[in-house]
């Protein structure tokens, strides 16, 4: 059988609709893939992706994390943690880690629970959209509560964030609507930070206005209004979109592997394992782009210095060389071997991982109560087309009536 030419296009319908067949071919045929169309390289094997995430000296984040910005090399002088290399990254991470300690996250459990219940209670079990009616809402509410965003602004912030991540097929640059949305988000947070400086409250933005950061230059140690606004806006994107996709897509995966839902119903202590397996199986963040700082020789290919390199963690998490039967969703899989890369690895590994795990576990617990048995209308599920975030935007679900 003749194979078609291997094309990996992260802005194509095939990619948005599920890239796993393409990933399998990349791992086999072109572990260092080169895109002639877009002039980037891509790593797809676990054994290459995992160390690349940790090797910030070779694969830099400082040019941005999406193809468009990395290619142009035009990153604004205002940078937030995720696009900093050391030593600036180290200083910023040390500072913001203080507001994300395991204890601080654990203290949020009641608030998280209340937000999740609030949205699930409004859902009509005889027919609802898992994403639209539920998972799109609570993560933004939770991060907004933490930051101190007033309730009346939260929906608008979520819609702006969606607009900035959205990409049409073939479109690698942000649309004008996306750019406008970024400006709107920044303007909003800038105003909120100024307001909190004038009137401190018990919230994360106020804490960040009071914190001091170590700097290598002779800048003042306090974070600037812009630095805090950038960080807040990153949390809205990184923290809300991803959890929304993880939980929104969960019914689809469980409906494809119904024995796994039954197993979870029987044994709730497996919920944390189910969260880990969902993260591995349908990683909400499929990739991050880096910028090569030097020539790299790998599998007979030279990645020249100065090129965008896709680190395809979504492919690494399905690599049979790292995970037994990777295309099987198994919440009880032995996880003592390769660690899932769903939260990245190395210095930029997800700051919000503990929060994301807790939110997702609480959500799954309530879903088991609310929808012990359910059907997914597969024909009407649709997936987002976004830069690096993957998952569903519509998942119609019907809860099966309980036997009388």
Query: Is 58 an interacting residue with respect to ligand HEM (CB under 6 A)?
Result: no
Query: Is 275 an interacting residue with respect to ligand HEM (CB under 6 A)?
Result: no
User: What is the smallest separation between the CB atom of 79 and ligand HEM, expressed in angstroms?
Assistant: 11
Query: Is 239 an interacting residue with respect to ligand HEM (CB under 6 A)?
Result: yes
How does DSSP assign 212-243, residue by residue? B---SSSS-SBPPHHHHHHHHHHHIIIIIIHH
Number of residues this chain uses to bind ligand HEM (CB under 6 A):
27
* Helix, strand, coil distribution of the chain in percent, nearest 5: 50, 10, 40
User: What is the smallest separation between the CB atom of 239 and ligand HEM, expressed in angstroms?
Assistant: 3
Query: Is 60 an interacting residue with respect to ligand HEM (CB under 6 A)?
Result: no
Applying CB under 6 A, which part among 30-38, 167-175, 266-274, 339-347 lies near ligand HEM?
A: 339-347
Whole-Å CA distances, 102 to 16, 20, 53, 107? 34, 34, 23, 9
**CA distance linking residue 329 with residue 281, whole number of Å:** 7
Which residue, judged by CB position, is nearest to ligand HEM in the bound state? 352
Query: Is 391 an interacting residue with respect to ligand HEM (CB under 6 A)?
Result: no
User: Given candidates 95, 130, 235, 363, which one binds ligand HEM under the rule CB under 6 A?
Assistant: 235
- The two tokens of residue 68 are 């468009």
The answer to whether 18 and 256 are in contact (CB under 8 A) is no
**CA distance linking residue 383 with residue 392, whole number of Å:** 4
**CA distance linking residue 50 with residue 316, whole number of Å:** 8
User: Given candidates 284, 308, 314, 326, which one binds ligand HEM under the rule CB under 6 A?
Assistant: 284
Query: Is 65 an interacting residue with respect to ligand HEM (CB under 6 A)?
Result: yes
Query: Is 238 an interacting residue with respect to ligand HEM (CB under 6 A)?
Result: yes
Applying CB under 6 A, which part among 149-157, 184-192, 336-344, 374-382 lies near ligand HEM?
A: 336-344
User: Given candidates 342, 364, 390, 395, which one binds ligand HEM under the rule CB under 6 A?
Assistant: 342
Q: Which long-range CB contacts under 8 A does 187-192 form with residues at least 24 apart?
A: 188/153, 188/157, 189/228, 189/229, 189/230, 189/232, 189/233, 190/225, 190/226, 190/229, 192/147, 192/148, 192/149, 192/229, 192/232
Query: Is 242 an interacting residue with respect to ligand HEM (CB under 6 A)?
Result: yes
Q: Within 6-35, which residues bind ligand HEM (CB under 6 A)?
A: none
The residue ranges that bind ligand HEM (CB under 6 A) are 53, 61, 65, 81-82, 93, 143, 234-235, 238-239, 242-243, 246, 284-285, 288, 342-344, 348-352, 355-356
């Amino acid at each position: 059988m003749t194979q078609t030419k291997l094309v990996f296009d992260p802005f194509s319908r095939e990619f948005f609709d599920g890239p796993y067949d393409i990933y399998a071919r990349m791992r086999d045929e072109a572990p260092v893939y080169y895109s002639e169309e877009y002039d980037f390289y891509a790593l797809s094997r676990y054994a290459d992706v995992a160390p690349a995430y940790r090797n910030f000296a070779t694969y830099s984040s400082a040019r941005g994390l999406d193809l468009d910005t990395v290619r142009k090399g035009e990153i604004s002088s205002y940078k937030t943690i995720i696009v900093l290399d050391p030593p600036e990254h180290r200083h910023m991470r040390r500072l913001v880690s203080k507001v994300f300690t395991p204890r601080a996250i654990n203290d949020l459990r009641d608030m998280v629970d209340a937000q999740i219940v609030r949205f699930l209670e409004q859902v009509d079990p005889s027919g609802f959209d898992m994403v639209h009616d539920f998972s799109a809402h609570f993560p933004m509410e939770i991060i907004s509560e933490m930051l101190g965003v007033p309730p009346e602004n939260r929906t608008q912030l979520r819609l702006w964030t969606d607009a900035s991540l959205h990409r049409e097929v073939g479109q690698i640059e942000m649309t004008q609507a996306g750019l406008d949305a970024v400006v709107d988000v920044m303007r909003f947070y800038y105003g909120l930070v100024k307001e909190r400086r004038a009137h401190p409250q018990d919230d994360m933005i106020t804490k960040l206005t009071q914190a001091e950061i170590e700097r290598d230059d002779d800048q003042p140690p306090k974070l600037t209004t812009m630095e805090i606004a950038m960080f807040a806006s990153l949390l809205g994107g990184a923290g809300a979109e991803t959890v929304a996709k993880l939980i929104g897509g969960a019914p689809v995966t469980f409906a494809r592997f119904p024995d796994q839902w039954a197993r979870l119903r029987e044994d709730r202590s497996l919920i944390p394992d189910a969260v880990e397996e969902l993260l591995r199986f349908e990683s909400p963040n499929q990739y991050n782009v880096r910028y090569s700082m030097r020539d790299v020789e790998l599998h007979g290919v030279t990645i020249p210095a100065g090129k965008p390199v896709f680190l395809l963690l979504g492919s690494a998490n399905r690599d049979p060389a790292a995970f037994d039967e990777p295309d099987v969703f198994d919440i009880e899989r032995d996880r003592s071997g390769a660690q899932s890369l769903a939260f990245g690895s190395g210095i930029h590994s997800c700051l919000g991982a503990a929060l994301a795990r807790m939110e997702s576990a609480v959500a799954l617990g309530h879903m088991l109560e609310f929808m012990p048995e359910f059907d997914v209308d597969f024909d009407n599920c649709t997936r987002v087309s976004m830069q690096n975030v993957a998952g569903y935007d519509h998942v119609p679900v019907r809860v099966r009536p309980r036997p009388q």
